[in-house]
Structure 1
Amino acid sequence: MVSAWATAQDVIEATGVSVTDQQLAQAQSDIEIFTNRIYADTPRIRTRDLYWLGRAVARQAAWLAGQFGLETRLDATQIQQDQVSTTLQGDGLVLAPMAKRALQRVSWMRSRTVHIRSALEGGGPLLADPLADSSDDAMVWTPYRGGA
């Protein structure tokens, strides 16, 4: 049995592709590299993120089953052969397209939007740790007026 965020059965249910334990282990390793998280951290990862990590591993495993020479490919963004040219985006040669989409839904992999409250919105009292993320909504933002 492979320690992974998805099982071989999950891969079959999500993609209809049967994979070996070796392919599943390789997919898990690939997703760990892209997410900067390892399977041993599973207890510290939120349930929603685990769902998307499982989907990413399943899609990556299915994609790996149809690839050849993956570990020896060149890191290229454009390939030309017989007057046919292909341009790939970033990790197009090593990450399954649907795995990439699943990883974009993991909380720490997507961009963050910071909401800055204006003086008109009012504010709360000063908190014990104004640098803590949990105190952001209670802080009042005021523009820097400059000084001489």
Structure 2
Amino acid sequence: MLQFKSEPIRLLLTFLKVVPLVAGYVSESQTLNLKFRGFIQGEVPTACLKVTIEQRAEYQPGAGIPQIYDASVTLESELPLFKRFIWNWKKSIFVWMSMMLFMMEMLVTLICCRPLIIPRARPRVGSVRSSAIESSLPVRN
């Protein structure tokens, strides 16, 4: 809610703050934070918001509308359930997909390039000669 100040109080405060106001050290701006309970962003994004400014309580109809020099509206809303889930988990999904892609690449590399990565065990040179000599000798009875 905007803070109400009567006309004499407002004039007195303006007179006292004239130098800091002109110098830009202080400002007369007010910020309103409004919460819309139960407002959930639908499938179609919100594109428009209507703000109505009413007159002050102390004035006659048509007079006393607040003077606004600059205004801005920031709308923060909740996403639908599925989009909210994806928004919160997008980093985790990215990490899991990266890990799965790495595992698949490693699996394909191991299957296709196994002879280069893990060579077959070869018998030792000395054991090959001794078995060849034993097999070439004639058997005596």
Same topology, TM > 0.5: no
Task: Please report the TM-score for the alignment, with normalisation by the length of structure 1.
Answer: 0.22
More contact order relative to length (CA 8 Å, sep ≥ 6): 1
Q: TM-score normalized by structure 2?
A: 0.23
Larger-gyration structure (1/2) = 2
Bigger proportion of residues as strand? 1
